[in-house]
Amino acid sequence: MGIKAAVFEIKATCYAHEGFNNVNPSVQGAALEQLGKDIVDQLLENGVDDVKIKGDYVEELEVEKPIMKYFEVCDPYYALIKANTKERAIKLYTEEVADDDGHLSDEIKEVGMLYAAVKHSRTVTENQELSPISDVLEELQSNEERVLIMDGSLL
């Protein structure tokens, strides 16, 4: 007897955007229902034959925000960026460093936190001094997405 179906039980966790907890419960329910429909549509579009959702519910989770990632761009202008996603890093680059010449998504690379810390700690301030390590650590540990280092020729 062959395999007739593969069944997966998936739990999807979607973090609420800021302000979601302050809206009317019926608005929350409608948003969850639409999210469920969007997930079903994506699965069906990608080859899944049948999708059944048992139900939806809101659960308060004691979790931390997603961990920041670090991205480096070397060309056309150097930048070290702290962001939640590659897409956000690209947006920060195009807003604060330079326009996308069509190759940015290929040029931007994710780097580790230790690499970013060492690289950022070697940054020279306007006074031609190394950045204080306390400032470097504070910037790396904050939840703010930002450009940490930018090509000096752009300043």
Residue 138: the pLDDT is 87
Residue appearing with tokens 């999807």: 12
Which string of b and e fits 48-65 if b means at least 16 CB within 10 Å? eeeeeeeeeeeeeeeeee
Residue 47: the pLDDT is 77
Please state, in angstroms and as integers, the Cα–Cα distance from residue 76 to each residue in 63, 97, 122, following that order: 38, 10, 21
What are 69-104's pLDDT values in tens digits?
A: 999 999 889 999 999 999 999 999 999 999 988 889
pTM: 0.58
**pLDDT-derived band of residue 50, with 50, 70 and 90 as boundaries?**
confident
Coil, strand or helix at 149: strand
Residue 39: the pLDDT is 78
**pLDDT-derived band of residue 30, with 50, 70 and 90 as boundaries?**
confident
Domain boundaries, the chain: 1-63, 69-154
